[in-house]
A = this chain, B = another copy of it.
């Protein structure tokens, strides 16, 4: 199997590596504070140029997904994580919107139901992983299970560590059975979140997206940041790497995610399955 994360061009690999979790200064754990949410490392120049690039990439990704679906040697799981208003929905529209629904599926994760809570927390997640040839996009994911319960003190630090290990084990199993696991953390600044929440309140076409719960979560900004720092340090693995996506700019956010996705799909050296030699020269009458 071609390694989907290691066969990128050198230039791309270096640019990508700068946005993956790494040890913090003086050997400390990595901290999101070390990455600028306003940065534009994949920008092509002006905003207009970036917009045009996203549109061109979305069409390219549509073609690559068609090939991925035909090839059927791999499964692709894309995890989108990020706080409220960080742009998960917008990413799905902007990056995956041109792909065919044939072979692409989005799963949005809400609070677990009673039946889901009566099982282990990975039970509902495992049911929704992609099959051969499919791309599944998780809008939020199992990473919520090491965020919300941690910040609210519903699980002990020991259980948090157990879960981080379970998640690594689970993702390694997926990887070793043919699933490419690609995880994006949409990274916005508190100022940008304030502006976006206010816009949801003030714009009648966006008001439906506002919830008072978002304000409560916003008050726990520091605690969520800490939980994110912990999970980034624990679950950035060779088989399921994180990409930190500066997300204050919506256009650049889409450009960066689409660029990574294209590179990973290109690395797979996808092929249409060979024709049946017995059918060579066969004429349909």
- Of the listed stretches A48-56, A84-92, A117-125, A201-209, chain B binds A117-125
Asked if residues A132 and B120 are in contact (CB atoms below 8 Å), the reply is: no
Asked if residues A174 and B126 are in contact (CB atoms below 8 Å), the reply is: no
Q: Mark A120-163, 1 if CB is under 8 A from B, else 0.
A: 11110011010111000000000000000000000000010010
- Of the listed stretches A10-18, A176-184, A217-225, A230-238, chain B binds A176-184
Q: Quick check: is A46 within 8 A (CB to CB) of the other chain?
A: no
Tell which of B118, B129, B169, B177 touches A173, judged by Cβ atoms closer than 8 Å: B169
Q: Quick check: is A109 within 8 A (CB to CB) of the other chain?
A: no
Interface size on A, residues (CB 8 A): 26
Asked if residues A179 and B120 are in contact (CB atoms below 8 Å), the reply is: yes
Q: Quick check: is A166 within 8 A (CB to CB) of the other chain?
A: yes
Asked if residues A178 and B120 are in contact (CB atoms below 8 Å), the reply is: yes
How far apart sit A122 and B179, CA to CA, in the bound complex (Å)?
13
How far apart sit A129 and B123, CA to CA, in the bound complex (Å)?
8
How far apart sit A133 and B177, CA to CA, in the bound complex (Å)?
32
How far apart sit A178 and B118, CA to CA, in the bound complex (Å)?
10
A162 CB contacts on chain B under 8 angstroms: 176
